[in-house]
Amino acid sequence: MAINPISCSLDFDQDGVQHGHLKLPYSRDDSAWGAILIPITVIKNGDGPTALFTGGNHGDEYEGPVALLDMALNLEPSEISGRVILLPMMNYPAVRGGRRTSPIDGGNLNRLFPGKPDGTITQKIADYVTTTLLPLADVIADLHSGGKTLEFVPYAASHRLPQDPALEARCTAAMQAFNAPYSMIMLELDAVGMLDTEAEARGKIFVTTELGGGGSTTPQTVAVAKRGLRNILQHVGILPGKVAMKESFQLDMPDERCFVTSEHAGMLEFMVELGASVREGDIIARVYDLDRSGWRPVEYTAYRDGVVAGRHYPGLVQSGDTLAVIAVPQN
Minimum CB distance to Zn ion, residue 57 (Å) = 6
Judged by DSSP in three states, 170 sits in helix
Minimum CB distance to Zn ion, residue 266 (Å) = 25
Minimum CB distance to Zn ion, residue 129 (Å) = 15
| Dihedral angle, C-alpha 230, 172, 145, 234, nearest 10 ° | 0
Neighbours of 3 (CB within 10 A): 7
Give the strand pairing for 298-301 and 283-288.
antiparallel
Instruction: Decide whether 68 or 239 has the Cβ nearer to Zn ion.
Output: 68
Residues binding Zn ion (CB under 5 A) = 58, 61, 144
- Under 8 Å CB-to-CB from 291, ≥6 apart: which residues? none
Minimum CB distance to Zn ion, residue 299 (Å) = 29
Check if the beta carbon of residue 66 is closer than 8 Å to that of residue 89: no
Give the strand pairing for 205-210 and 139-144.
parallel
Check if the beta carbon of residue 155 is closer than 8 Å to that of residue 182: yes
Minimum CB distance to Zn ion, residue 54 (Å) = 11
Instruction: Decide whether 61 or 198 has the Cβ nearer to Zn ion.
Output: 61
Check if the beta carbon of residue 143 is closer than 8 Å to that of residue 232: no
Instruction: Decide whether 44 or 99 has the Cβ nearer to Zn ion.
Output: 99
Minimum CB distance to Zn ion, residue 142 (Å) = 8
Instruction: Decide whether 18 or 149 has the Cβ nearer to Zn ion.
Output: 149
Instruction: Decide whether 57 or 179 has the Cβ nearer to Zn ion.
Output: 57
Q: Please tell me the distance from the alpha carbon of residue 181 to that of residue 211, in angstroms, as a whole number.
A: 10
CA 63, 309, 283 angle in degrees (round to 5)? 140
Minimum CB distance to Zn ion, residue 103 (Å) = 17
Instruction: Decide whether 266 or 310 has the Cβ nearer to Zn ion.
Output: 310
Instruction: Decide whether 42 or 175 has the Cβ nearer to Zn ion.
Output: 175
What is 20-65 written as a DSSP string? EEEEEE--BTTBTT-EEEEEEEEEEESSS-EEEEE--SSTT--HHH
Q: Please tell me the distance from the alpha carbon of residue 36 to that of residue 23, in angstroms, as a whole number.
A: 6
